[in-house]
């Protein structure tokens, strides 16, 4: 295995390679995110302090901060700071603002989008990765593990890669389609490939390929009936296969 790349076997036989993100890219993304979450938390606390106390400094009773200020300003600010990564990684499908700027993204071992459970597990292990200070355990793990992952990634089955949008979106699309159709991933990729090259093929060639592919996907189909269909009808049937066999 190439330690610098995550290679994913494609159903069509053409492998997809994604460049692994190392300690430098991870650190860059983390520093950006750290500034974002700190500023968001401080902005919330500052705004609520003004609303509650009418001044910049926290309201006090007997020299101690009031319970109302702690409840409305401090606790939500802490929640913003500590929930920043898990919430945004779930909502942004394996990314955060820092990861986006750094050009990296979390994926599964197969190159797909991590599930919500995997992302939450990964973030729960930050407690270990952050030990003893400044993510020393996590940093060391990225230097010695095969795919440059930290402890949280090992537990969640995730990998941090450089964000090649085309390849990742294609893999995610296949995963999404697999949940809506009875076709296996290899068949889905074949249909998507033919539809993607549709306009570059001459009519006779794409009709020939469509008939052959539809006959393979539905062994009970009448070859003569498929051969009699026009170009537009064949394309509609291929698209219907990706929708679970339903013609629009």
Residue 96: what pLDDT? 95
pLDDT single digits (tens) 101-153: 999 999 998 878 899 999 999 999 999 999 999 899 999 999 999 899 999 99
Task: Give the pLDDT band of residue 72 (cuts 50, 70, 90).
Answer: confident
Other Cβ atoms less than 10 A from the Cβ of 12: the count is 11
Residue 116: what pLDDT? 95
Distance CA 158, CA 135 (A): 18
- List all residues 6 or more positions away from 133 whose beta carbon is below 8 Å from its beta carbon: none
Distance CA 234, CA 122 (A): 45
pLDDT single digits (tens) 187-202: 777 777 788 778 877 8
Averaged pLDDT, 152-173: 74
Percentages helix, strand, coil for the chain (3-state, rounded to 5) are: 60, 10, 30
Task: Identify whether 132 is preceded by a cis peptide bond (ω within 30 of 0).
Answer: yes
Task: Give the pLDDT band of residue 4 (cuts 50, 70, 90).
Answer: confident
Task: Give the pLDDT band of residue 33 (cuts 50, 70, 90).
Answer: very high
What average pLDDT does the structure give for the chain?
82
> Pairing mode, if any, of strands 5-8 and 60-61?
unpaired
pLDDT at 183 over 50: yes
- Whether residue 231 contacts residue 207, with contact meaning beta carbons closer than 8 Å, is answered with yes
- Whether residue 197 contacts residue 42, with contact meaning beta carbons closer than 8 Å, is answered with no
The residue ranges of DSSP E strands in the chain, in sequence order, are 5-8, 16-19, 60-61, 64-65, 104-108, 158-162
Prediction pTM value: 0.64
Residue 158: name the closest of 201, 217, 117, 206 by CA. Answer: 117
- Whether residue 118 contacts residue 85, with contact meaning beta carbons closer than 8 Å, is answered with no
pLDDT at 213 over 70: yes
Averaged pLDDT, 161-178: 56
| 200 vs 99, higher pLDDT | 99
DSSP string, 176-195: HHHTTSSS-HHHHHHHHHHH
Residue 213: name the closest of 232, 176, 181, 239 by CA. Answer: 239
Residue 43: what pLDDT? 92
Backbone angles phi, psi at 193, to 5 degrees: -65, -45
């Amino acid at each position: 295995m190439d330690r610098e790349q995550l290679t994913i076997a494609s159903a069509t036989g053409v492998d997809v390679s994604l460049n692994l993100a190392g300690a430098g890219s991870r650190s860059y993304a983390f520093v950006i995110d750290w500034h974002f979450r700190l500023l968001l938390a401080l902005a919330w606390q500052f705004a609520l302090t003004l609303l509650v106390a009418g001044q910049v400094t926290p309201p006090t009773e007997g020299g101690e901060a009031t319970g109302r200020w702690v409840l409305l300003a401090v606790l939500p600010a802490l929640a913003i700071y500590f929930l920043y990564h898990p919430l945004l990684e779930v909502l942004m499908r394996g990314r955060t603002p820092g990861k986006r700027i750094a050009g990296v993204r979390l994926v599964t071992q197969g190159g797909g989008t991590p599930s919500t459970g995997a992302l939450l597990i990964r973030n729960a292990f930050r407690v270990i990765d952050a030990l003893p200070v400044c993510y020393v355990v996590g940093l060391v793990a990225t230097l010695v593990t095969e795919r440059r992952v930290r402890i949280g990634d090992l537990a969640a089955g995730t990998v941090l890669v450089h964000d090649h949008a085309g390849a990742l979106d294609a893999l995610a699309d296949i995963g999404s389609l697999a949940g809506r159709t009875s076709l296996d991933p290899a068949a889905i990729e074949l249909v998507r490939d033919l539809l993607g090259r549709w306009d570059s093929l001459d009519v006779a060639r794409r009709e020939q390929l469509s008939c052959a592919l539809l006959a393979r996907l539905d062994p009970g189909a009448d070859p003569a009936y498929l051969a009699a269909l026009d170009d537009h009808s064949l394309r509609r049937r291929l698209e219907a296969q990706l929708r679970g066999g339903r013609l629009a």
